[in-house]
A and B are shown apart, each in its own frame.
Chain A
């Protein structure tokens, strides 16, 4: 089993739609969780940290479920510019990246 698993997608949704991704992790000792966004041929950029109580940043909401060992990312009112690969990142003794979920927003 991979340490961090994501559905690779691609998710192809219309502009304005709400889309959600999940990510599961295997190490129950994991301490920190993040969502990164990576555009084609570019470096990953931090989208948001994920806190136990859940957190929101504009159209983006991240949640953590420690009991089930998954984190989620919800994007509301999606924009064309949201098209990217979203990487789930988990930190225990080292950083582990998920393989990413590709999102494509169509007009």
Chain B
């Protein structure tokens, strides 16, 4: 099946720093990528939808200036958590929907962010 990678898989940073997470579709072109956040024992919450070459669409309550999304190519989207705080500590997962792959989303392995 389609493969999506994320990097890094785990990151620990100090409060106030910025963290960039990469999401890549390895064997298909992804016109749309999605960024989710999952807190312990909770379901995935969609943060934003990213379309290649255009601005991301953010869900209500998600600060676009804090969570910067760039979808520069059909195989790469990045999420930058700016000025991270301990409450941003979470599991961030991206998914990609490819051209001709119907509505199925393929998920990256996730990035566990811990902000000290």
Residues of A within 8 A of B (CB): 31-32, 34, 41-46, 49, 87, 89, 91, 94-100
Contact of B103 among A31, A41, A43 (CB under 8 A): A31
In B75-106, the 8 Å CB interface with A consists of 91, 93, 102-106
B91 touches A98 (CB 8 A): no
Query: How distant is the Cα of A97 from the Cα of B105 in the complex, in angstroms?
Result: 12
For the complex formed, measure the closest distance between the CB of B44 and the CB atoms of chain A, giving whole angstroms. Answer: 5
| B49 CB contacts on chain A under 8 angstroms | 94
B109 touches A42 (CB 8 A): yes
B interface residues, tally (CB under 8 Å): 20
Query: How distant is the Cα of A44 from the Cα of B106 in the complex, in angstroms?
Result: 9
Query: How distant is the Cα of A97 from the Cα of B46 in the complex, in angstroms?
Result: 9
- B39-77 vs A: 1/0 string, CB under 8 Å? 000111110010000000000000000000000000000
B42 touches A95 (CB 8 A): no
For the complex formed, measure the closest distance between the CB of A84 and the CB atoms of chain B, giving whole angstroms. Answer: 14
For the complex formed, measure the closest distance between the CB of B89 and the CB atoms of chain A, giving whole angstroms. Answer: 14
